[in-house]
Structure 1
Amino acid sequence: MVTILSIPESTEWIALIKKMEDSELHVNWVANEMRLMEQLQSVQPCIVLLPYSSTYNVYDLSSLISQKYPLTSVLLAFPTEEDLDMKRVLRAGADDVLFVSSPLSKIKEDLYLATEKSASKWLQQTPINPPQNGKVFTVCSTKGGIGKTTVAVNLAVAYAKKMMKVAVVDLDLQFGDVAMFLDVKPKQSIYEWVKEDPEGEHIERYMTPYIDGLSVLAAPPRPEFAEVITGNDVKRAICQLKQEYDVVIIDVSSHMNENVLVALEHADEILVMTYLDLPTLKNSKLLIDTLVSLELGERVKVVLNRQSKEKGITTAMVEKVLGREIDAAIPVMDKAMLTAVNEGKPLCYSNPKSPVAKQIFRLTESLYNPDSETLINKKKSRLKERVGGRR
């Protein structure tokens, strides 16, 4: 049975809920938003019915719930349609909205529908025998130009060369370059998937293939289309891709927003890219501290890009500033990297013996290195797929 939680915002709100309650529909009251978050730790499946309030920000609270409890359905209740900001509702990851001014029968019908959807979503995400999930790696940085996308696409190629099925998700939704770095021209993107596949069951159709076993979920074709994608969409994409792929690599925007937070929270490992200059190191430290405050610190791996003895900053100095050890260091190969980007051929594919590629391959082994029997089975399965596809 689906539990419904709500905050007693006003006597009018309580009275409205009591009129709707029956033998199948019952609302459990929690005193305030703090108690609500505590309850959600132990109550699932669950619907949160949030009334518009002057004591808390309904959009911010909805966003927080959606991020921390992705299987929880959030319904926002507004006095009238004039009080609604649809853009903020979408960004907050809410599942639906109700209007107190609507007929009681309509509100009750919407609530019944929400309970059915919530129960269905919970059952789909918690099967009796859950499938083997792929690994998720999110690559992030505090600014562009550090090499985040370069490392993401080369990691993807490195895993694909091990005969794994790999997905790269370009979550730099406004100005993502993953497709360009791989020299592919997507006909579909995450935007079309969100618009055309609301149940999220056919994400494979929206992937763009690169080489055998590696596919890209591209960023939207236009920057303004990024507004459509919500944290809930990102969550659904990751959950679906984990079931279809051995490895999912997410290249996120350098700006912290709801979509980036969802990608970080759903990652098995978080690769924080940094560089040998003090402003970048300072901001990388702030990012790491933020991840620690979100209880994600144990997943962080620090990747130092363009390592060089000529920069005047040693590895020891970097580790002192960041307060932790560097997990991987990518050497300087500016000319080779520029050629690789311009030609759309990552070094792990075009020049696997280069110093950069060797470090990337070492990084893949430290992140996820399944035993030989597992790899052999994956190779057999992939070869069967290829042979079958050529018939």
Structure 2
Amino acid sequence: MSRQPSQQSSQLASQPSDSSQLTFQPTREKRLHLSSAAIESAREKLLTFQKAREEGEEVNEEEEEGYTGSREITIKENVPLEEYLRYRENNMNTSVRMYLCDGKIKIYEVPSAPHAEVAGAIIGFMSIWNMQDFRYGTDATTTLGRGSCREPDVYVRPRHRPRPQQGAPAADRYGNAFPTMMIEVGFSQSLPDLHRTAIRYLGQQTTIQIVLAIKIFGIRTNALTNTSTIALIAALYLRTSPTPLVPTRVISFGTANPDTNTVNYITQQMNVPPGSFVGVGRPDPNNNNNNFPPCNAANIPTYTMNIPGTELFDGVPANHLPAGFPIVPNTLPVGFAAGFNLDLYELQVVVREALNI
């Protein structure tokens, strides 16, 4: 009889207590959930901005070609950066493009042939120009600040650009250096949305030097002539400019003149000087203010956008710079130092073929 209590106590001692069970239970990390219905609703709305419009057709203000508001759709707020990054790693939604801006998840674009093929063409042209010194990529999640990140349509990073030192901002969780150039192509998103994106890319948390924004407007159809035309805008931003948040060059390169509201937004809100906004539908001050020639062939100087070599190779050690560096003072740069000349007519052809116009 005297042994029973000791056996019971021994059995009790061998059993784990409630507190020890709680200690070893795995904790579940909070997972971000985005409603598929909200994503689909945003997608359907953004698709309306890609539709062809008959000239003179009345549409809602947000659907107008020259709309100067934002078309981005916020689907969730107060989202921590780490939570969003974890979501993107596990949920690469291909039906829409989204990003995190100051803790808000915004949907801004629907993938399409013209959008994708313009981005692909730029990579192809630049790769032909220089493949050995650069890495070209798409859709890599890039951190832009404490509560912001985005996947660019195209990025260009010098192979020998040093990784940031420990503690300095990096482009991603792998510690990569920021690209020197970001390229954004907008079809659903408005021109102001693209402009604000360029400003974010050139923020103090990054070392991005160049942003190229390409805006594809909607197709204009003319029932009387059975023709279709389209306006296209390219805007180049340089961190080294005295006014980095104002494009150094804006070129209209479509088959239609830009909308009046678009012109006013570029000159009055983006503050682009008239002489820096050239191309289709724009007056040429060197030709009695007659309009610039149409963008209807390759190698027309007006429709060539130079991407400067100095900014493209920013941060690359001298022993890894190609021929043409250093640039001799008071002389024009040569070789790769002269940069890359993007023929916008070639992009116009890509857009017209993708849209079958």
Structure that is richer in strand per residue: 2
TM > 0.5 between the two?
no
Q: Which has the higher helix share?
A: 1
Per the normalisation by structure 2, the TM-score is 0.29
Larger Rg: 2
Q: Calculate the TM-score normalised by the size of structure 1.
A: 0.27
